[in-house]
Structure 1
């Protein structure tokens, strides 16, 4: 690499994007194109950045495998930032292997961290942990070390291990300050904000209160029997009974928990679980069957008793409560993802949320009518962004937490 390219690369590494561009703006050799592409990506012109990186990769010959791998690495990072989750992951894996085999440890580590970030975004927490486990943190330069700890914090928050998340964010902040990169320091600060903000709503004894992530973690570890509407599960003292694939049963459970310590009438249960406006004997028979199934499923933690008016939830210990988010249904999860400030396609949202594109589109249309989100572009180029802050942190809403 000649002195001008070396100076441009050093400028990029320290966050001086305009300084790097000034050095290579008039050059069209592959190495200069690659640096221009990275610089344009940092300035936010992702489409132009991708074009420059593709030109650079084509310009490098087959013998220049390391240079080509670096271009692929930069493309992968742009794909992650632009939420192009269909970008082939195997290309990044191949680039990482080439970089590692040719001794470019820093960029190989960078590729691994991008893989871990992608797994975190998709809710593949175990795979993110596996990728992070391949690193020796003490060998990473400050910028990569900050990214390493940010991914750790993300997996801990998704698992509601808030004390560990705080420690990871402290480590990330220290590394970011050592790097001297303002954007990285801002990213760490933004990731820390949700820890001290309201995260969900707790309904207990007919009273609704906002709770923080620390309070949610303590609640789920306590003797309180929690109908967790954020995961469609019954949780108590670290034990979890999932009803994620049983929406009717969870609707019954939630109705009973909201009525506790009283009972829920049969009419209310039929309306909430079956959306029955006018209940007949067939509805009542189905209610008895589903209530029996629910009783058997939650038996380790609670019982259900019949009353003259309906049914009552009977915890085996402690009291009952319901944990919910201020936005119900798919809108909450969509808002959670859009709150990261990036532009999302409906297909990428559907992939992360593991639901149909049509379901996501309905949620986006409802949010747009409410003035909370807006779209940019049309057709396959259409992207969605948030117009207003949700008022609640997003981390607990994302998939893979539990």
Structure 2
């Protein structure tokens, strides 16, 4: 390999994309195309970067399997950054196997780290942890090691294991410092801020206060009966009852928890669960049916008793009853939680990440756009959605993937 290619590769490793382009900008051989593609990705021109990397992969000969595999790994990273979740996963796994077979442990480890980051993005935490257990991070250079530690921190945060997340962020900051790339250090610093930002509101006995992730972790392990409006579940310790697919039952459970230990009036339950302004006998009959269903669903955790004016939630044992709600409650918050990362998403990628039908996602995006909460760029298949960062928005607890004991 000639000296210009080596110098350009060293510039890329140091985060100097312009320095790399100065050395190979006018060259069209395969190594130069690959370096130009990676440099354009670092500069943010992801469309041009993908074109250059595809050209480089075609230009490498049949005996240059390692070089072609490296191009595939670079394409996969660009797809991840551009939220192209439809990019073929099998291609990355094939490239990783090829790199491992030819002894390129650094890029093989980087490919596996990309697999972890994609699984984390779509909320497949169990699968991400299985892949993480197979990864030996020792070959990774400082920049890639920082990215690896960010993935570890992301998994820990989604699992609400805050101390391991703090330790991972600390290791990521140290690796970013060794890499000497200012943009990477800023990324790590910004990612770590989620630990100190408000993550939820605690509603109990008519009062409310903001909670950090540390406090949410402590609350969920306290044994209290928690009606979790971030995940639409009711939990106490390791026992979890999911009401995510039963919105009426969850609305009733939340009203009962907000008024506990007192009873909730029937009029309040009807207005919150059924949005009934003027209740008639049919509404009251439906309320009795739905409360019966909720009583059966919550039987392992609590009972529901009828009173003269309504119903009361009675947890088993001497448990406190609280509601855990997002700091800011808006419609379609599950979409805003993903868009709040500052990246541009296609509606198909949002559908994959949330395991929701594309039509449901598109309707939600249209409603948010009408309210001015999101904006789109491009047209047709190239259309992307984004939103400006919202200070204090509850991005963590609304993201896809289970919390402890789910």
TM-score by length of 2: 0.94
Distance 1:131 1:187 in 2: 24
C-alpha distance 77-330 of structure 1, shift in aligned 2 (>3 A): farther
Residue 213 in structure 1 maps to residue 213 in structure 2: yes
* Aligned alpha-carbon RMSD (Å): 1.7
Is the partner of 1:344 in helix, strand or coil? Answer: coil
C-alpha distance 76-330 of structure 1, shift in aligned 2 (>3 A): farther
Counterpart residue number, 2:71: 71
Moved more, 327-336 or 198-207: 327-336
Aligned 8 A contact 2:338 2:395 in 1: yes
Q: How does 1:138-177 map to 2 (within 5 A)?
A: 138-177=138-177
Deviation at 1:102, TM superposition (A): 0.7
Is the partner of 1:364 in helix, strand or coil? Answer: helix
Residue 344 in structure 1 maps to residue 353 in structure 2: no
Q: How does 1:384-395 map to 2 (within 5 A)?
A: 384-395=385-396
Distance 2:127 2:62 in 1: 32
Deviation at 1:326, TM superposition (A): 3.8
Aligned 8 A contact 2:341 2:389 in 1: no
Counterpart residue number, 2:302: 302
Deviation at 1:248, TM superposition (A): 2.0
Residue 202 in structure 1 maps to residue 191 in structure 2: no
Aligned 8 A contact 2:225 2:235 in 1: yes
Counterpart residue number, 1:116: 116
**Per-residue deviation, residues 149-194 of structure 1 (Å, max 9, x unmatched):** 1111101100111111111111111111112122221121111001
**Per-residue deviation, residues 244-278 of structure 1 (Å, max 9, x unmatched):** 22222111111111121221122322332233444
Deviation at 1:243, TM superposition (A): 1.6
Deviation at 1:96, TM superposition (A): 0.5
Counterpart residue number, 2:373: 372
Moved more, 203-212 or 95-104: 203-212
Distance 2:394 2:191 in 1: 10
Counterpart residue number, 2:357: 356
Aligned 8 A contact 2:340 2:388 in 1: no
Distance 1:156 1:348 in 2: 23
Deviation at 1:352, TM superposition (A): 0.9
**Per-residue deviation, residues 218-238 of structure 1 (Å, max 9, x unmatched):** 111113211101111112234
Is the partner of 2:138 in helix, strand or coil? Answer: helix
Counterpart residue number, 2:242: 242
**Per-residue deviation, residues 357-396 of structure 1 (Å, max 9, x unmatched):** 2332333333334333221112221111213424234122
Aligned 8 A contact 1:73 1:95 in 2: yes
* Residues paired across the two proteins, number: 402
Q: Please list every run of 5 or more consecutive structure 1 residues that lacks an aligned counterpart in the other structure.
A: none
Aligned 8 A contact 1:372 1:388 in 2: no
C-alpha distance 143-159 of structure 1, shift in aligned 2 (>3 A): same
Moved more, 11-20 or 323-332: 323-332
Counterpart residue number, 1:94: 94
Distance 2:105 2:139 in 1: 10
Counterpart residue number, 1:2: 2
Counterpart residue number, 1:399: 400
Is the partner of 1:50 in helix, strand or coil? Answer: helix
Is the partner of 2:235 in helix, strand or coil? Answer: strand
Aligned 8 A contact 2:326 2:394 in 1: no
Deviation at 1:134, TM superposition (A): 1.3
Moved more, 338-347 or 326-335: 326-335
Aligned 8 A contact 1:330 1:360 in 2: no
Deviation at 1:208, TM superposition (A): 2.3
Distance 2:394 2:101 in 1: 41
Aligned 8 A contact 1:335 1:390 in 2: no
Deviation at 1:327, TM superposition (A): 4.1
Is the partner of 2:201 in helix, strand or coil? Answer: strand
Aligned 8 A contact 1:30 1:57 in 2: yes
Distance 2:159 2:248 in 1: 26
Is the partner of 1:137 in helix, strand or coil? Answer: coil
Deviation at 1:341, TM superposition (A): 1.4
Counterpart residue number, 1:56: 56
Deviation at 1:88, TM superposition (A): 0.5
Q: Please list every run of 5 or more consecutive structure 2 residues that lacks an aligned counterpart in the other structure.
A: none
**Per-residue deviation, residues 15-43 of structure 1 (Å, max 9, x unmatched):** 11111000000000111001000000000
Deviation at 1:297, TM superposition (A): 2.0
TM-score by length of 1: 0.95
Counterpart residue number, 2:382: 381
